[in-house]
Amino acid sequence: MKSQPRFDVGEIEELLQNGEEHGDSSLMAVLEEIQARYRYLPKDALILVSERLGVPLSQTYSVATFYNAFSLKPKGRHIINVCLGTACIVRGSRKVLDRISDRLGIQPGETTDDGELSLETVNCLGACALGPIVVVDGDHHGKMTAARAEKLLAESVPEGVEA
């Protein structure tokens, strides 16, 4: 896991100070920031957030595990997101997902052993005209087929990563 950024209390100090003023209602926003910065919610961060915001750790944990946007496990440096919205589904996105999952050897929600790639799914990106859609690190790739997805993997996956 060489690629994970290290959790540093100092870095989220400002967030916490802001959160202290607003208590519970800033919990989501603070967790969203931490998730964005570290690509997961480190355990120490959850404990710290609870203490500083005055929110029970049980509540912080339940929020952290309830919403899809949060992860307690580190995510990969690169994120491949396959849209499984209805419009993409009727145009064959399941086959696209199956192929990518097969090639990477991981299931949706998992990360490759080297910490490079995470495979995710999303319920709709609202760009249905382009379906099926695969998003790699924020770049949309539309009108995917299983074969094109394989090509996309070969092009966009950084060197040295097994795919």
Partner 1 sequence: MTVLKTQAELVELRDALVTRAEGVARLVAVCGGTGCRALGSESVFRALESEMANQGIGDQVTLKMTGCPGFCEKGPLVVIRPDGLFYQGVRAEDVPELVAKTLVEGEIVESLLYTDAETGERIAYERQIPFYAKQRPQLLGMNSRLDPTSITDYISLGGYAALSKALSEMSPEDVIEEVTKAGLRGRGGAGFPTGQKWRITRNAPGDVKYIICNADEGDPGAFMDRAMVEGNPHRLLEGLIIGGYAIGATRGFVYVRAEYPLAAKHLGMAIDQAREYGLLGRDILGSGFDFDIGIVLGAGAFVCGEETALMASIEGRTGEPRPRPPYPSESGLWGKPTNINNVKTWANIPIIIEGGADRYAQIGTERSKGTKIFSVVGKINNTGLVEVPIGTTLRELVFDVGGGIPGGKQFKAVQIGGPSGGCIPREHLDTPIDYETLTELGAMMGSGGMVVVDEDTCMVEFARYFMDFVQQESCGKCVPCRLGTRAMLEVLTRITQGQGREGDVEYLLELGGQIKQSSLCGLGQTAPNPVLSTIRYFRDEYEAHILDRCCPSHACKPLIHYSIDVEKCTGCGRCLRKCPAEAISGAKKEPHVIDREKCIKCGTCLELCKFDAVVVE
Q: Which is nearer to partner 1, 8 or 29 (CB)?
A: 29
Q: What is the rounded end-to-end Cα distance, in angstroms, of the chain?
A: 18
Out of 1, 10, 129, 159, point to the residue binding partner 1 (CB under 8 A). 129
Residue 110 CB, nearest approach to partner 1 (Å)? 16
> In the complex with partner 1, which residue's Cβ is closer, 3 or 23?
23
Quick check: helix, strand or coil at residue 13? helix
Interface residues with partner 1 (CB under 8 A) are: 23-29, 31-32, 55, 59, 62-63, 66-70, 84-87, 89-91, 95, 98-99, 102, 122-131, 133, 140, 142, 145-147
